[in-house]
Structure 1
Amino acid sequence: MLPEHPAALRSLKARRLYRRHGQVGLFFVGGLSVLAGMTDAIGFLASGDFVSFMSGNTTRLAVAVSEGQFGLVLRLGLLVITFVLGNALGVMIARSSRKRAWPLLALTSLLLLSAAFCGDYLELLALLAAILAMGMLNAAVEEVNGLPIGLTYVTGALSRFGRGLGRWLMGDRRAGWRMQLVPWGGMLFGAVLGGWLEHRLGFAALLFSSALAALIGLASLFIPRRWVQRYMAR
């Protein structure tokens, strides 16, 4: 049996590495989506406001404007602005740390920890800390193998999944669209877990979100740095 050509071996190795890069990225996305879903459910049940689902808060803001509920308009406007600032801060931290995930996740963990401890006394402050953390989280992963990923919202994931399904039904056999179920499933599972925890602990359930963020940050240290750099914000 003749040995394989070196170019073919390199090509096979590259394909395996590419698949491995995608698999690790999806596990990373899954964990972060569980964190987002858990935190959003805890915040929503404890305060009545969404922590990561800004589409919901935007709709509520518009309704509040139409009904003249100006106190609620100010509150929801502040939540949306805080989420935007969290996203901006996440990109700044990612770039300042030379695209390392652990500093971003460490700060996320600290913000969630502070929210857990002050939630029963300073609800709005706790809510803002959690929202800032969720905004920052989006900078942890932006794409896996060239495909866009959303961590703290799933409307885009479901839309991309649906469009991919439509293309598949029309004969396009590219399979990348299936990965969009990972953030959706992660958020769903996390929200179920977060709801269960909040019913028992209230805002203090964010302690579990804080611990999960820290664990994911620790796990990210075992991912090759060049892979993390490709996952993160550009």
Structure 2
Amino acid sequence: MLPETTHLSQRAKRLERARGRVGLYFVAALSILAGMVDAIGFVAVGDFVSFMSGNTTRLALALGQGDGPGALRIGALIGTFIIGNAAGVLVGKASGKRAWPLLACIALLLGAAGGIATAWGLILAVMAMGMINTVVEHVNGLPIGLTYVTGALSRFGRGVGRWLAGERRSGWKVQLVPWAGMFAGAVLGVGLEHRFELRAMAIAGALTALLAVVTVTVPGRWLYQYRGP
């Protein structure tokens, strides 16, 4: 292999590693925000904001117990989350897959939720969490979930099993990043809710706005590769 070709190959590998690290930092930051928002909403009003698996179980329980108002409320949260996912895709495509416009929308929704500071404002936070799932969908080809860490833990567990069986691929280790981020964010969110109640959503909005500014410094071609089609 020619020296120039070797140099280019090494440079490409360094860039790929750097892109992967930035992507994981990005995932960690978004997972912290998701955990924070989910904990604030749950402690304040008893409803999950980003954890729709939990809300699905609660919807089934409400229907089974004949709790019509509760079923309507939780069903509205699930529907709003789906709308937020769809809106995130549309905003992402309209902005050419740049991250900052999408994050700016999320920041505005969370800021408004904190300003309203009622259970009704929670709807805006749920939409924001639906949108946040479209900011990063994979890093270096590995699927990443931001607000649903059951899948991440399952992929991590399967990776452990394959490693014990003799396979030496290490990509499964990154699945702990969103789980750890959401856990840390939830701990932070509990503390914020105790002090500021639902107004703490505005703090999450401010942090999202800061993250939007930071993403402007990330090469656009890297951000494109974190997104789905």
1:119 to 117, 120, 125: 117
Structure 1 residue ranges without an equivalent (≥5): none
The number of residues matched between the two structures is 229
Q: Any idea what SS the aligned residue of 1:29 has?
A: helix
* 1:189-209 alpha-carbon deviations (Å, 9 max, x no partner): 000000000011100111210
The CA deviation at 1:6 is: 1.6
- Equivalent positions of 1:182-201 (< 5 A) are 182-201=177-196
CA contact (8 A) 1:64 1:70 kept: yes
Runs of 4+ in 1 over 2 A off after TM superposition: none
Q: How much has 1:4 moved relative to structure 2?
A: 6.4
Q: CA offsets, 1:134-167, max 9 Å, x none? A: 0000110000000000011211110111111111
Deviation at 1:14, TM superposition (A): 1.1
Partner residue in 2 for 1:96: 94
Deviation, 1:233, is 2.8
Hey, what does 1:6 align to over in structure 2? 4
Q: Is the 1:41–1:194 Cα contact (8 Å) retained in structure 2?
A: yes
What's 1:84 paired with?
82
2:27 aligned to which of 19, 26, 29: 29
* 1:134 and 2:129 correspond: yes
Superposition CA RMSD, Å: 1.1
Which 5+ residue runs of structure 2 have no aligned equivalent?
Answer: none
Question: What pairs with 1:44-83 in structure 2 (closer than 5 Å)?
Answer: 44-83=42-81
Partner residue of 1:106? 104
- Which residue identity is paired with 1:169? L
Question: Are 1:217 and 2:212 matched, yes or no?
Answer: yes
Q: Does 1:145 align with 2:143?
A: no
The answer to whether structure 1 residue 157 and structure 2 residue 152 are counterparts is yes
Q: TM-score, normalised by structure 1?
A: 0.96
**Match for residue 41 of structure 1?**
39
Distance in 2 separating the partners of 1:172 and 1:16: 24
Contact 1:91/1:233, CA 8 A, preserved across alignment: no
- The answer to whether the 8 Å contact 1:142/1:231 transfers is yes
Q: Distance in 2 between matches of 1:160 and 1:222?
A: 31
Q: Percent identity?
A: 56
